């Protein structure tokens, strides 16, 4: 071994040690400056001597060449999901079935993304997402950028562990602040940010996001263990960052006490948790209890109720939606809640305010619905001083100044001015959104800029934009402008279902649009459709039908549709060739859970492209349920009714086999 190779190996070992001290033990022994100096020396030596390259070198954590896609990985052992319990009576029932006298490990449930890490001969060789529990995605390159994951370990046998990748709260706040400054959409919470970061095709982006991991289970090992806590101690010796707040206890009272203690610490932790996991500590107990198809019988997740905090409601302001509905929103004294700082909360409508007697100046209790959308759940009337004032709804639109009307039978106020600037921005923004025409790069701030400058007066004007025009706007370079024009061009072929849904007609969402296009495959036909005609369609009631008729009665609607057609936007469904059969014709599918590679809308489009129909609910008429990770009640109902259940892979095989048979 020459001196250069010896120095390279020495630097790798030294950097790995100091990374462990910093990222796992949180007790650094050298300054950042000294670490960076050693890191730079190693980079320079490796660049000058590529013959000593090693994919497990600390220098590889910065990311590399982007991938075209993620490959599928079949897990060595299934990565099951836990049964949730929401109160202590449900927990008691679990203990009664599993054995209350048993020894249990109680540990924090990190709110992140589950992964499996595999090691062979002491080296990290593969990392995969959970996926549907059986098949996940190979995200090895991205996981190598997570600095708390050891790239090499002392143990040289086969080893596979399961962990939870998460984004620390401080990294999440910095990421969202940077995105807000650039005019980009914000992540809803750290879990959402972690999932999006780990699934980047460009690992350099993942490396910049500052992800972290806690390992919580030993999946595969050549060594035998008798207890879960023993296996975790072994993993800690190998350099893994082990799940925090873990304690082994016996008995219902001790378990409840530990769960409460973890819950009390929740707001002070530098990472998000959404529960506490209770699992049998003896591995022989786990083997005795076994598991169902998707969940172990030896563990449950106690889910904490949504975090609530009190704050002052300082004002009520009105937002004009894309259909003209005026939605009141509460302006709050900023409060930290479920991973983000909250200063606004929806008040839904006037009835919501009146029923709860919400007044400006009140102290209110706020929580996040689904840990995402802030909402006011109660008013603390004991704190009223008499200075609070009742909310008076506006009589004119705050955006355009036109009078507002109250819809019969509804609690909403509405601006009827179709040229209202606020409606235009939200209508065009909705048209470009992912669930509609999916124009990547056309965010809310850019839409507002386009509408405000007069370049876009309706959605059809998007298809007249050029790269030269866009490049002249603030914060738009030539490359960004070119990419946006390409995204607009790609949206032309989304099809009439997506287009109809994207037009923002009241009551016409994705489901209704699909049903309508099955009856009217050319949107031109809707100009002559009547309410009576439309109500013959499943999923279309009288109110929806009237909204469609009213929308297509406007002269500007015909002008907009004609302008889109002239620009090449597909407004009609292609008719199948004479005698052509589709492999999924006549079949109805229900999608549930998170699929390994396909997003829900992509799977739905694929099914309908091949002749099938998708539904949102399971019934005896359902042909198949396609289930992914964390499938919920729809999967249970399918099993109850005897409806066949498919994985994503089985669905794709059904399409492929059907095409070959036709």
Alpha helices in 51-166 (DSSP H): 88-98, 140-143
Q: Percent of the chain, pLDDT > 90?
A: 42
Sole residue written with tokens 């005609």:
533
Report if pTM > 0.75.
no
Give the model confidence (pLDDT) of 600-625 as tens digits: 878 888 898 888 888 878 888 899 99
List the structure tokens of 372: 């995402």
Task: Name the nearest CA neighbour of 561 among 510, 532, 522.
Answer: 522
Give the model confidence (pLDDT) of 469-516 as tens digits: 998 887 788 888 899 999 999 999 999 999 999 998 888 888 889 889
DSSP 20: I
The answer, yes or no, to whether residue 72 has pLDDT greater than 70, is yes
CATH of domain 74-303: 3.30.470.30
Predicted local confidence at residue 63, as pLDDT = 58
CATH architecture of 3-62: Orthogonal Bundle (1.10)
3 burial class (0-12, 13-18, 19+ CB within 10 angstroms)? exposed
Predicted local confidence at residue 358, as pLDDT = 95
List the structure tokens of 523: 């949107």
Task: Name the nearest CA neighbour of 272 among 133, 115, 139, 164.
Answer: 164
Q: What's the average model confidence in pLDDT over 520-542?
A: 89
58-72, 189-203, 269-283: least confidently modelled range: 58-72
CA atoms within 13 A on the CB side of 160: 13
Query: Could you please report the per-residue DSSP string of 161-203?
Result: EEEEEE--HHHHHHHHHHHHHTTPPPPSSHHHHHHHHHT-SSH
- CB of 597 closer than 8 Å to CB of 70: yes
CA separation for the pair 607, 341 (Å, rounded): 40
Q: What's the average model confidence in pLDDT over 20-28?
A: 68
List the structure tokens of 153: 């370990």
Q: What's the average model confidence in pLDDT over 204-218?
A: 93
25-29, 81-85, 483-487, 512-516: least confidently modelled range: 25-29
Give the model confidence (pLDDT) of 217-242 as tens digits: 999 999 999 999 999 999 999 999 99
Sole residue written with tokens 């001290």:
21
Sole residue written with tokens 């030294």:
14
| Paired strand residues for 303 | 275
Angle at 58 between CA 56 and CA 62, to 5 degrees: 105
Task: Name the nearest CA neighbour of 434 among 529, 510, 376.
Answer: 510
Does domain 421-566 match CATH 1.10.150.20?
Answer: yes
DSSP 503: T
DSSP 454: T
Q: Where are the domains of the chain?
A: 3-62, 74-303, 309-402, 421-566, 588-661
Query: Could you please report the per-residue DSSP string of 94-143?
Result: HHHHH-TTSEEEEEEEESSEEEEEEEETTEEEEEEE-TTSSEEEB-HHHH
CATH T-level assignment (fold) for domain 309-402 = OB fold (Dihydrolipoamide Acetyltransferase, E2P) (2.40.50)
Judged by DSSP in three states, 300 sits in strand
The answer, yes or no, to whether residue 70 has pLDDT greater than 90, is no
Greater model confidence, 611 or 372? 611
- CB of 651 closer than 8 Å to CB of 603: yes
Selected from 3.40.50.10190, 3.30.450.20, 3.40.50.1100, 3.20.20.70, the CATH number assigned to the domain covering 588-661 reads: 3.40.50.10190
Q: What's the average model confidence in pLDDT over 516-520?
A: 88
CA separation for the pair 458, 568 (Å, rounded): 16
Residues marked active site are found at 109
Numbers of helices and strands, H then E, in the chain: 23, 24
CA separation for the pair 302, 278 (Å, rounded): 7
Alpha helices in 506-595 (DSSP H): 510-519, 531-534, 542-553, 555-566
| Residue 186 pLDDT grade (very low, low, confident, very high; cuts 50, 70, 90) | confident
Give the model confidence (pLDDT) of 311-357 as tens digits: 999 999 998 887 788 889 999 999 887 667 889 998 888 888 988 99
The answer, yes or no, to whether residue 251 has pLDDT greater than 50, is yes
- CB of 119 closer than 8 Å to CB of 155: yes
The answer, yes or no, to whether residue 126 has pLDDT greater than 90, is yes
The answer, yes or no, to whether residue 275 has pLDDT greater than 50, is yes
- CB of 322 closer than 8 Å to CB of 426: yes
- CB of 337 closer than 8 Å to CB of 374: yes
CA separation for the pair 201, 70 (Å, rounded): 8
Task: Name the nearest CA neighbour of 129 among 143, 145, 146, 119.
Answer: 143
| Residue 578 pLDDT grade (very low, low, confident, very high; cuts 50, 70, 90) | very low
CA separation for the pair 208, 192 (Å, rounded): 16
Q: What's the average model confidence in pLDDT over 427-440?
A: 90
């Amino acid at each position: 071994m020459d001196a250069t190779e010896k120095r390279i190996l020495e630097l790798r070992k030294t950097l790995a040690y100091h990374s462990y001290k910093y990222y796992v033990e949180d007790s650094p022994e050298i300054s950042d400056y000294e670490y960076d100096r050693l890191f730079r020396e190693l980079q320079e030596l490796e660049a000058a001597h590529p013959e000593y390259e090693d994919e497990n070198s600390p220098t590889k954590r910065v990311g590399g060449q982007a991938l075209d896609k993620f490959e599928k990985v079949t897990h060595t052992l299934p990565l099951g999901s836990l049964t949730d319990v929401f109160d202590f009576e449900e927990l008691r029932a679990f203990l009664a079935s599993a054995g209350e006298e048993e020894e249990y490990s109680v540990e924090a449930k990190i709110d992140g993304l589950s992964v499996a890490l595999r090691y062979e001969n002491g080296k990290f060789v593969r990392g995969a997402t959970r996926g549907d529990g059986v098949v996940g995605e190979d995200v090895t390159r991205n996981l190598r950028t997570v600095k708390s994951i050891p790239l090499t370990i002392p143990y040289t046998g086969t080893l596979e562990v399961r962990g939870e990748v998460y984004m620390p709260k401080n990294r999440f706040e910095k990421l969202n602040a940077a995105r807000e400054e650039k005019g980009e959409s914000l992540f809803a919470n750290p879990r959402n940010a972690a999932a999006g970061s780990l699934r980047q095709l460009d690992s350099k982006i993942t490396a910049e996001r500052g992800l972290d991991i806690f390992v919580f289970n030993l999946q595969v090992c050549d060594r035998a263990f008798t207890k879960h806590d023993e296996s975790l101690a072994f993993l800690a010796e190998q350099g893994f960052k082990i799940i925090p707040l873990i304690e082994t206890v016996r008995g219902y009272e001790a378990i409840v006490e530990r769960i409460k203690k973890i819950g009390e610490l929740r707001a002070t932790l530098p990472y998000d948790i959404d529960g506490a996991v209770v699992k049998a500590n003896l591995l022989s107990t786990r083997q005795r209890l076994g598991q169902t198809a998707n969940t172990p019988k030896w563990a449950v997740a106690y889910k904490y109720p949504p975090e609530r905090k009190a704050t002052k409601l300082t004002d009520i302001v009105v937002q004009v939606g894309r259909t003209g509905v005026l939605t009141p929103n509460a302006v709050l004294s900023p409060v930290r809640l479920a991973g983000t700082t909250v200063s606004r909360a929806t008040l839904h409508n006037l009835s919501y305010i009146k029923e709860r007697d919400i007044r400006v100046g009140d102290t209110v209790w706020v929580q996040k619905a689904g840990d995402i959308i802030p909402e006011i759940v109660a008013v603390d009337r004991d704190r009223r001083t008499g200075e609070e004032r009742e909310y008076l709804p506006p009589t004119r639109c705050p955006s355009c100044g036109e009078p507002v009307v109250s819809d019969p039978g509804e609690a909403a106020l509405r601006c009827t001015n179709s040229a209202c600037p606020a409606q235009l921005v939200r209508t065009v923004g909705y048209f470009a959104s992912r669930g509609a025409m999916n124009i990547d790069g056309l965010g809310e701030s850019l839409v507002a800029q386009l509408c405000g400058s007069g370049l876009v007066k309706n959605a059809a004007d998007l298809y007249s934009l050029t790269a030269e025009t866009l490049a002249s706007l603030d914060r738009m370079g030539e490359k960004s402008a070119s990419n946006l024009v390409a995204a607009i061009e790609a949206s032309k072929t989304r099809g009439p279902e997506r287009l109809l849904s994207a037009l923002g007609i009241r009551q016409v969402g994705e489901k209704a649009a699909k049903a309508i296009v099955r009856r009217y495959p050319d949107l031109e036909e809707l100009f002559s459709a009547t309410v009576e005609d439309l109500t013959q369609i499943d999923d279309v009631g009288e109110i929806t039908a009237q909204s469609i008729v009213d929308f297509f009665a406007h002269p500007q609607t015909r002008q907009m549709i004609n302008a889109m057609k002239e620009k090449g936007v597909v407004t009609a469904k292609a008719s199948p060739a004479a005698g052509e059969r589709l492999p999924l014709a006549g079949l109805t599918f229900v999608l549930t859970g998170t699929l390994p590679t396909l997003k829900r809308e992509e799977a739905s489009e694929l099914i309908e492209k091949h002749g099938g129909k998708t539904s949102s609910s399971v019934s005896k008429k359902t042909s198949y349920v396609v289930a992914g990770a964390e499938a919920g009640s729809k999967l249970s109902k399918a099993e109850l009714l005897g409806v066949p259940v498919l994985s994503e892979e089985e669905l794709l095989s059904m399409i492929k086999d059907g095409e070959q048979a036709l």
